[in-house]
């Protein structure tokens, strides 16, 4: 009986795990970025293409890089999307994106 109760509790807790909440950003160039944040990762979707970016050093905000992109967020309300040239550590200025719902 105890084993069954334990299994039920474990199953209930596992069903509580959910995907990170999405944040939708409207960019000044007309693109839409949907971002989800989990730990040291940002999963962003641009035009139906998914990219997983990893935290990078920044003096301000949260900066993520990967897949030739840089996503630099300031809280959940504003971010900058830029192409990160191969071999570079920081991208040139990119396009400003804002999350109207935040």
C-alpha torsion angle, residues 42, 46, 48, 26 (rounded to 10):
110
SS3 27: strand
Check residue 8 and give its pLDDT.
40
Whole-angstrom distance, CA of residue 59 vs CA of residue 5 = 49
Judge contact between 64 and 56, C-beta under 8 A. Answer: yes
Check residue 2 and give its pLDDT.
55
Which stretches of the chain score pLDDT less than 50?
4-15
Check residue 17 and give its pLDDT.
59
Of 2.40.160.20, 3.30.470.20, 2.40.128.200, 3.30.300.20, which CATH number belongs to 20-98? Answer: 2.40.128.200
C-alpha torsion angle, residues 52, 69, 33, 49 (rounded to 10):
-60
Judge contact between 32 and 23, C-beta under 8 A. Answer: no
Q: What angle do CA 77, 82, 86 make, to 5 degrees?
A: 145
Check residue 55 and give its pLDDT.
97
């Amino acid at each position: 009986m105890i084993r069954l109760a334990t299994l039920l509790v474990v199953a209930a807790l596992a069903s509580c795990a959910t995907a990170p909440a999405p944040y939708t950003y409207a960019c000044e160039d007309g693109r839409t970025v949907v971002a989800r944040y989990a730990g040291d990762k940002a999963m962003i979707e641009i035009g139906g293409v998914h990219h997983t970016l990893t935290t990078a050093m920044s003096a301000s905000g949260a900066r993520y890089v990967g897949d030739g992109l840089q996503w630099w967020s300031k809280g959940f309300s504003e971010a900058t999307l830029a192409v990160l040239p191969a071999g570079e550590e920081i991208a040139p200025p990119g396009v400003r994106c804002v999350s109207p719902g935040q």
